[in-house]
Structure 1
Amino acid sequence: GMGFRELPLFNLALLAKQGWRLMTQPSSLCSKLMKAKYYPTISFLHAPLGRAPSYSWHSIHSSRKVLASGLRWRIGGGNSVNVWHDPWIPENLAFRPSSPAPPGTADMKVKDLIQSDHSGWNSSVIRRIFSPSDVQHILAIPLSRNAYPDRLIWHHTRHGEYTTKTGYQLLKGIAELSQPTPSVTNPNLTLFWHFLWKQQLPTRIITFVWRLGKNILPLKENLARRHICPDYVFEVCGIDTETWFHAFVSCPFSRAVWRLEGIVV
C-alpha cells in the first residue's frame, strides 16, 4: 500500500491536492467559482478564510499550510519573485535566503540578481549581498537564456507537481519533529526537568532548554532526517553539520559569543 497511517494527515494531504488544482488550473469551473467568491484579487495562498465560508472552502483553505511548506519558485526571468520574502532557493531552509536584507532592498526581485542579457547570475552583486552559503546555493540554480515566466512548483517531486503521497510524507515529518524523542528514563534527568520547570524564568527560555535537551529543536540535522530540509550545513559558518552541539558549542561563532560572556567552552 501507500503507507498512509495517520488519517487526519492523509485527509489534509488530500485537501492540499484540491488547493493545488485551484492554483494550477485557474480556468476550471471550480477554480473560477472559488476565486470569484473568496479571493478575487489575490492568490489562493494569501486568501483569507472569509465570513461564513462554505464547508468545502473551509476544508481546502486549511490545506494552504501544506502547500506553503513545500512550494518554491522555479526561476525563469525572476520578475515575479521577491528575493527576501518568496521561496526560491532549493537548498535553503524554507527556500529563502538566510542572509539579512540590506537596507533598501526589501522590494528586490530575483531578476535584479541576473545578468541583463540573461546569460547567467550577476555573481558580483550576489557576493556583495549574501552570505557565502547563500551565494553557493544561488549560483547553483540553473537559468535559461529564454527567460521563461517564473513558476511555482512542488519541491518534493522531480516533476514539480504536488502529489498526495509527498504531501502526507511532509506532514508526517513535521508531526514527528514536534514529538519528543524516546529516551531511557534517567532519575537525575527527571529531577533536573522538575527543577527547571520550577524556576522563575520566562516560559520561552524554559521551553527552549527543554526542547534542546530533548533534541527536538528544528535544527537542520533533525529536519533533513525527516526530509523537510535538503541539506545539513550550518549556515552561520558554512563548515559543519547543524547539530545542537555544533550550533551552540563547537561552532567558532558560538565560541566567540560564549567568550564575550566570559565563558570558555
Structure 2
Amino acid sequence: MPKSVVKELHSIFAKFWWGKSNGEQGIHWRRWEFLCRSKKLGGLGFRNIEDFNQALLAKQVWRVFINPNSLTARIFRARYFPGGTVLDADVGVYPSFVWRSLLWGRELLMAGLRWRVGNGLQISIYEDKWVPLPHLFRITTPPRLPLNTRVCDLINDSGHWDRELVNASFWKHEADAVLSIPMGYVLQNEDKLVWHYEKKGCYTVRSGYWLACAIRDRGDGEVGASSSNFENIWLRLWRLQVANKVKVFFMEMYA
C-alpha cells in the first residue's frame, strides 16, 4: 500500500475521532501514532495502518523464505536472488514496486529473526544473531575468542554448554542468556532461523505488528514497551470504574 494512501487513511480516522458532531474542526490533542499505541502505553489501541501494512508484507517474505520451491518464491528467485535467499537479496536493477515493498517488509522480519541453536556449526558467535536477548540478539561483549569462533566451540563433548568457557567469554547477562538455551538432545538438529517473538518460531502478523509498533516507539523517543512503571500508570487509568470520556480526558491532560 503506497504511503500516500496510508497517510490519507490516517487523516480520515483522525478527523473522525477528533471531529465534532456538527462538522466543526476538532482539536487534535495527540498525534495519531500515539493513539495507535496499546492502552498499557497510554494510547487507545487504534491500528496503525503503516505498521500493519509492513507486518503483512513481512508475512509474504516469510512465506517465500520457508517455501523456497513455491511458485512465488521461484519467480522472485529467478529475478532477484538466483544465487541466494530472499533474506540476503539486493534491490536489483529496475526493481518492481512489489519487490521494493517486500524489501521494506523484510526489514521488519529481519529485526525479529535469530538463530535457534542446534549443533552450532552454522552460527558465528560474534557475527550472527543467536542470543535470546532482544533487541539485538547478538553478543556485545568485546571479543575474547577468535572472531571466527562458532557456537559449536562452546559445546563440550557431552553435548552441553561449556559453562566455564561461556562465563569467561561473555558478560554475565549474556553468559546467563547463552546458558539458558537448552542443549543436549538438540545437537541432532541443525541450526535454524526462527522468529523470536513466537514460541514456535514462526512469524505471525500479530507479533510482527507488535514489533513494528515497538520499533516506531523507540525511534520516536517515546517510552519503550519495557518500562513497567509507565505501563502500570496507564493500566490503572484504563481499569478505573469511570466513564470512558473521563479516561480520555486524563489522556488529553497528559498530552
User: Same fold, TM exceeding 0.5?
Assistant: yes
Q: Aligned residue for 1:142?
A: 182
Query: Can you give the 5+ residue segments of structure 2 that lack an aligned partner in the other structure?
Result: 1-44, 229-255
Match of 2:112 in 1: 70
CA distance in 2, matches of 1:64, 1:92: 18
Aligned to 1:82: 124
Count of residues paired in the alignment: 184
Give the Cα–Cα distance (whole angstroms) in 2 for the partners of residues 84 and 224 of structure 1: 26
Q: Aligned partners of 1:16, 1:170: CA distance in 2, in Å?
A: 11
* Among 85, 92, 99, the residue aligned to 1:50: 92
Name the counterpart of 1:101: 143
Alpha-carbon distance between aligned partners in 1 of 2:191 and 2:103, rounded to the nearest angstrom: 24
- In structure 2, the partner of 1:34 is 76
User: Deviation string for 1:205-253 (max 9, x for gaps)?
Assistant: xxxxxxxxxxx6xxxxx35249xxxxxxxxxxxxxxxxxxxxxxxxxxx
The aligned counterpart of 1:127 is 167
Task: Provide the alpha-carbon RMSD of the alignment.
Answer: 2.1
Residues 173, 93 of structure 1: alpha-carbon distance in 2 compared, 3 angstrom cutoff: closer
SS in 1 for 2:90: coil
Give the residue type in structure 2 aligned to 1:175. R
User: What's the TM-score, normalizing by structure 1?
Assistant: 0.64
1:6-45 paired onto structure 2 within 5 Å: 6-45=48-87
Q: In structure 1, how many angstroms separate the alpha carbons of the residues matched to 2:171 and 2:118? A: 23
Structure 1 residue 62, shift from structure 2 partner: 1.4
TM-score (norm 2): 0.66
Which amino acid counterpart does residue 91 of structure 1 have in structure 2?
L
User: Which amino acid is the alignment partner of residue 199 of structure 2?
Assistant: R
> Matched residues, percent identical?
33
Shift of 1:4: 6.0
Whole-Å Cα distance in 2 between the matches of residues 87 and 139 of structure 1? 16
Return the structure number with greater relative CO, CA threshold 8 A, min gap 6: 2
Alpha-carbon displacement from aligned partner over 1:54-111 (angstroms, at most 9, x marks no partner): 22211111112101111111111011111111111113541111201236x2221111
Aligned equivalents of 1:148, 1:28: Cα separation in 2: 24
Q: Which amino acid aligns with 2:127?
A: H
The 5 A counterparts of 1:215-254 are 222=224, 224-225=226-227
Secondary structure of residue in 2 paired with 1:62:
helix
Cα 1:101–1:93 change in 2 (3 A) is farther
1:36 and 1:101 map into 2 onto residues whose CA distance is 39
Q: What is the SS of the residue equivalent to 2:79?
A: helix
- Cα shift at 1:36: 2.4
Q: SS of the residue aligned with 2:83?
A: coil
- What's the CA shift for 1:179? 2.5
Distance apart, 1:159 and its partner CA:
1.4
Please say if residues 76 and 144 of structure 1, whose CA atoms lie closer than 8 Å, have aligned partners that are also in contact: no
1:17-40 Cα deviation digits (max 9, x unpaired) = 011011111121211221222112
TM-aligned CA deviation for residue 158 of structure 1:
1.5
Aligned to 1:165: 206
